[in-house]
Structure formats: C-alpha cells, structure tokens
C-alpha cells in the first residue's frame, strides 16, 4: 500500500501533534500504523507517543462514538489530523493517568503546531465538555456493542456467530496490549541458560507453556537491553507463532537430509529463522510478494547468521520454481489478522468485512499453488493469525474436498482447541496470540 502524503513533522512539534499525523492516515484508511517513532519525538516522549497511537486505535470505536456526540459536524477529510487530536485528547481523559489540564491544554495546543490555529478552540471546548460529562457520555455510547466492546459491528457479528461462548473473551483479549515474548536460539544456548543470563542482567521473564523456546518478559523492554540480541541469541516472536516450526518439522524430519523447505509467505522472517534454528542443515527458500518486506527477512537471517534463498514473488505464481518438490511447506497465509488485533489495533479501522471474501479466495489460490510444489509424502502446514472459521477450518475443509491426494494429519497438542481438521488458538491476555494451524500430508506417489 502506498503511503499517503502527510504533513512533514517539525522538530519543534509536540508528541501529540506527531501522534495525530501518524493516526490521520489510519482514520482515512490510507495507511497502517507502525511502531516506528518519527524523527523529532524526544526520547523521553517515545513511550507516550506509542501509547497514544496504539491506545487510540485500540479504543477507536468508543472514542469515535464519543467524538460524534461532541461535534456539531464532522471534520473535513483534509482535517483528519485535527480529528485524530480530538481522539487523542479523549483517550488521555478516559484511559490514561494524565492530569486533565495537561490532556486538554497540550492536546488543543497540538492544533496550533499543525498550523491549524482555528481548531484550537474546537478541541479545547470538546475536551472540556468530555471531562464535565464523562459519566453521561460513557453510559450513552456504551449502549452500543461496538463502543462497549471496542470492535466494529461487522466483526462482533462474525465473532459471536463463530464463537458464541468465547467471543467476549476474544474481544477482551484484543483490547489489551500483548506481552513481549521471546524465542531463544537453541543453536546458541538452552532456554534455561539464557534465562539465567537475563536474570543476571536484572530482567525478569517466565517460561511459556507450549513452545520449548519461548519466554515472556515480565515487563517489555528495548531489544538492545536483551543479552546477546545482536549476536542472534534471542528474537522477539509470539508463542503461537513459535509453534509452526515444530509442527512442520515433526512430520518431515525423517525424510532424507538435507530437507528442502519452503516458507511461502515469509516476511518478516521469524518462522523462517525458527525453522533454520531447529533444522540448520535444511535448504530453505523464503518467498514474499513485497520486496521491501523481504528485506526484513534478509536482515533477520543476517542477525541470526542463517542463510536461505530469498525470492520476491507472488507465491501463487510458479516462474521462480525450479521444479524440484519440497519436503515441507509452511503457508502462513495472508489473513484478516483478527487473532493479533491487540498487537495491530489499527486493524479495527483498516479492515472491512468485504476484505474477508477477497482474503479467503487468495488463501485458496495459495493453497492450490503450494500443493503443486510439495513432494509425495511431504507435508504442508497451513497457518493464519485469524480466529474466523472461513479463513481456517472451513478453508481446509474446502481444500480437502477438491484435492484427492491430500489428507489432514491430526494435531495432538495441549494447546488450543479442535477446529475442523486443524487446531485453533484464541488470543489470551498475558499469553499467546490467536492462531490457526492445519497439517496436510500429500499421498505417497
């Protein structure tokens, strides 16, 4: 997606104005939120910058409902930065421990820094009223499920239909930041040995229950504080994502070495790296349709001193393939991301219901294309970070129905729940993301 043109931040601009400029493309549905902090945000304000940007996206349905009550008319499209400022002010008033005078004054002053002096009084007036009428406004907007659960209505409808007993737990987990989980590089040391190094550095973590390589930090920190990070001793990766390598390799490790592995949608490269850490003798090919994102895979592998064949290509196409089949294929398919909303809360603003139909069609094409590249007796692991059945269990059921030489291998595990021929993980507060896995084996020739 092309990044929209936005006003270039000034070095003298405050953190709230910077956050407004980052949020405006999201509100316009023209760009995603990143964790990158723009030049000009002082180091002491970088945590606040991220808290404002991600917090506003997280509570967006509620904040938008309140803003609608406060405004006589909506801001024009070109003034979405001002609208973002209003949401930033509301988020501070209702969800942060920032003194009211600072939340109102500093936020209204942000309009002046955006060269929109006219909006200063509008923002100031709205926020002062929001503070005075807090209880009434919250009680009014929270009558709407969309505002009460901080999710768009179309997604609430789908979640409730798919998971009638769990949808409220899913939305609650989506509304809190995910923990910082790490993957210890087993080629360098054991998880226990690295945990001791971490404790020596004065940092606390706990081992995760389902991945043998995973640790969750008690408190998130800069990766540069992690012992041996630049030497590749450890990487940041959610526990659910770490399950992929074990699931795929368990079924193919008995085949003749070196294994030929394919990661069909590899960026940013965490699962490719984990596969190579677990099976270092393998020959891995990593594809991604986005050359810029594929560069992140290259950087990830370089830090970990791992090598793979990287190809920037559409995985539904076959021109890149030499015709030699793969023993194992990981297809971490593009999806709605509904299992990782807590880490990417801008999904609430950017994703539309009609996207689901396009995504499921793309997933089907990717499955069919990768199947042609799988060796007889080989295994394909299908994965998404979605909790929607049409992208997961229903997708696999349809694939098996049209693919006579494919059959599902049962995933016996102490995590998640059975979902059709696969296994579904739901996002869990302080635990793993939402993920789906299905393991498919090709009939021997």
DSSP state of 78: G
Asked if 215 contacts 191 with a C-beta cutoff of 8 angstroms, the reply is yes
SS3 135: helix
In degrees and rounded to multiples of 5, residue 217 shows phi and psi of: -70, 140
The C-alpha atoms of residue 123 and residue 111 are separated, in whole angstroms, by 8
Which of these is catalytic: 126, 278, 335, 385? Answer: 385
Asked if 299 contacts 306 with a C-beta cutoff of 8 angstroms, the reply is no
DSSP alpha helices (H): ranges in 228-323?
239-252, 270-278, 291-303
Regarding beta strands 422-425 and 417-419, do their DSSP bridges make them parallel or antiparallel, or are they unpaired?
antiparallel
* Rg of the chain on CA atoms, in Å: 23
DSSP state of 152: -
Q: Would you list which residues are annotated within the binding site? A: 265-271, 288, 314, 332
Q: Would you list which residues are annotated within the binding site for S-adenosyl-L-methionine? A: 265-271, 288, 314, 332
The C-alpha atoms of residue 400 and residue 396 are separated, in whole angstroms, by 6
CA dihedral 182, 183, 184, 185 (to 10 degrees): -140
Asked if 101 contacts 7 with a C-beta cutoff of 8 angstroms, the reply is no
The label of the residue with tokens 């929607």 reads 388
* Active-site residue, 385 included: yes
Query: Of 423, 414, 352, 424, nearest to 208 (Cα)?
Result: 414
What angle do helix axes 80-95 and 134-141 make, rounded to 10 degrees? 110
Query: Of 122, 138, 133, nearest to 62 (Cα)?
Result: 138
The label of the residue with tokens 């593009």 reads 334
Catalytic residue annotation: 385
């Amino acid at each position: 997606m092309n990044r929209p043109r936005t006003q270039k931040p000034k070095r003298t601009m405050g953190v709230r104005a910077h956050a407004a400029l980052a949020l405006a493309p999201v509100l316009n549905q023209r760009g995603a939120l990143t964790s990158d902090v723009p030049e000009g945000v002082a180091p002491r304000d970088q945590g606040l910058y991220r808290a404002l940007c991600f917090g506003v996206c997280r509570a967006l349905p509620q904040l938008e409902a309140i803003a609608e009550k406060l405004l006589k008319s909506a801001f024009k499209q070109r003034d979405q930065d001002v609208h973002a400022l209003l949401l930033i002010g509301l988020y501070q008033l209702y969800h942060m421990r920032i003194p009211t005078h600072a939340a109102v004054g500093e936020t209204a002053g942000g309009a002046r820094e955006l060269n929109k002096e006219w909006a200063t009084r509008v923002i100031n007036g709205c926020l002062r009223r929001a503070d005075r009428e807090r209880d009434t406004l919250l009680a009014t907007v929270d009558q709407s499920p969309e505002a009460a659960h901080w999710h768009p209505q179309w997604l609430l409808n789908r979640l409730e239909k798919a998971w009638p007993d769990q949808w409220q737990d899913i939305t609650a987990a989506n509304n809190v930041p995910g923990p910082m989980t790490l993957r210890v590089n087993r080629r360098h040391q054991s998880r226990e040995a690295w945990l001791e190094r971490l404790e020596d550095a004065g940092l606390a973590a706990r081992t995760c229950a389902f991945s043998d390589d995973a640790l969750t930090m008690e408190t998130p920190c800069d990766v540069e504080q992690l012992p041996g990070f630049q030497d590749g001793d450890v990487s940041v990766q959610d526990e659910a994502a770490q399950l992929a390598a074990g699931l795929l390799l368990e079924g193919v490790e008995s085949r003749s070495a070196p294994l030929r592995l394919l990661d069909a949608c590899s960026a940013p490269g965490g699962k490719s790296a984990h596969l190579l850490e677990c099976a270092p003798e393998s020959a891995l090919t990593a594809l991604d349709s986005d050359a810029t994102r594929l560069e992140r895979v290259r950087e990830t592998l370089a830090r970990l001193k791992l090598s793979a064949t990287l190809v920037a290509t559409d995985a539904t196409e076959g021109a890149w393939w030499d015709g030699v089949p793969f023993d194992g294929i990981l297809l971490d398919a593009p999806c709605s991301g509904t299992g990782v909303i807590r880490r990417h809360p801008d999904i609430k603003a950017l994703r539309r219901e009609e996207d689901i139909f396009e995504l499921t069609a793309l997933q089907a094409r990717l499955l069919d294309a990768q199947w042609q590249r799988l060796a007889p007796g080989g295994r394909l692991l299908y994965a998404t970070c979605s909790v929607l059945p049409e992208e997961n269990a229903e997708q696999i059921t349809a694939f098996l129905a049209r693919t006579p030489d494919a059959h599902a291998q049962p995933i016996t595990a102490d995590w998640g729940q059975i979902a059709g021929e696969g296994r579904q993980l739901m996002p869990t507060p302080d635990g793993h993301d939402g993920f789906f896995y299905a393991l498919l084996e090709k009939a021997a020739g």
